[in-house]
Structure 1
Amino acid sequence: ESRPGRGPPTLLGAQQWEPVVLHKAAPKGKAAKSSSEVNAALRQGVAVETSKKMAGGCNKSGSVSVAAAEPSAARKLDEQTEAFRHERVSHDFKMALQQARLAKNLSQGQLATQMNEKSSVIHEYEAGKAIPNGAVINKLNRALRAPAARKVSK
């Protein structure tokens, strides 16, 4: 016995037998790109709208560069003859770091593993070649439990 609506689904009622026709969109008109095509349209009396795109045809970004906004900024950079250097850790800092590490009987590698840093970082700080990083200095202070000298040479 089959009850109505309880049997297997049938696809007979869902079949579509009439043809379906697909159409392409009508062409919207060609944008004239060359100047001769624009001039020909103007001679015929057709309304022509021209618009210049921002930096169109140029190999430039849309943003304005600092040198373009203020030409004197580039000149100021060229005129500067002063030598600039990064700040390095001071002699007092590196000596305090070495003494604190040796007081704890730690090698550079052991201190580095406590801090989750490379041993080369500790070596650079103790050699005075490191550029001071506040996060690394805080890690050093925490690992050694002694505030190292916070002075930085210029």
Structure 2
Amino acid sequence: MKSLKKKLAVLLFAQIPIHGFAQQQLQPPNDVDLRAAYCVPIVRNQVDIYQNAMTEPPSNSQVDQAIKKLAADAQQNLARLQRYLVPRMPYLDSTALLAAMAQGKDDSQRALTEATQCMATCQNKPNPMQCMNACTTDTMQRVRRCSQLDWLPF
């Protein structure tokens, strides 16, 4: 009987740190966390688009070089976002992060559709680049902010 009590006490003592850790309150994500979560699917989509464009047969060396640079920049941005967000995720409430990621994914697709519509509208204009620069939506502006990561702390 004494041996059983001792074993139960050991088991209960062993459970204290585990139970205490399981009860730990998760922090709500801050604005930078949410923005990083929003940008991850956007930048991941950019990486995919640029990598697919690089598999196309070469057309113009300047265009191909520009696409390679865009692909490298997007890959660096994705790595930077992940270096910031991944270590923080175990301590953050994931509900808002998942919502931000879903919004980023939706906005990325919407911005691509809107950019395609702008290209179709602007291609026959006298100055297509000026038309494209003027053709912007709120969604496109939000997505573009994910290309400049100066808001990340490192």
- Whether the TM-score (by the shorter chain) exceeds 0.5 is no
TM range (shorter): under 0.3
Q: Which of structures 1 and 2 has the larger relative contact order (alpha carbons within 8 angstroms, sep 6+)?
A: 2
| TM-score for the superposition, normalised by structure 2 | 0.20
Structure with bigger gyration radius: 1
User: Whose helix proportion is higher, 1 or 2?
Assistant: 2
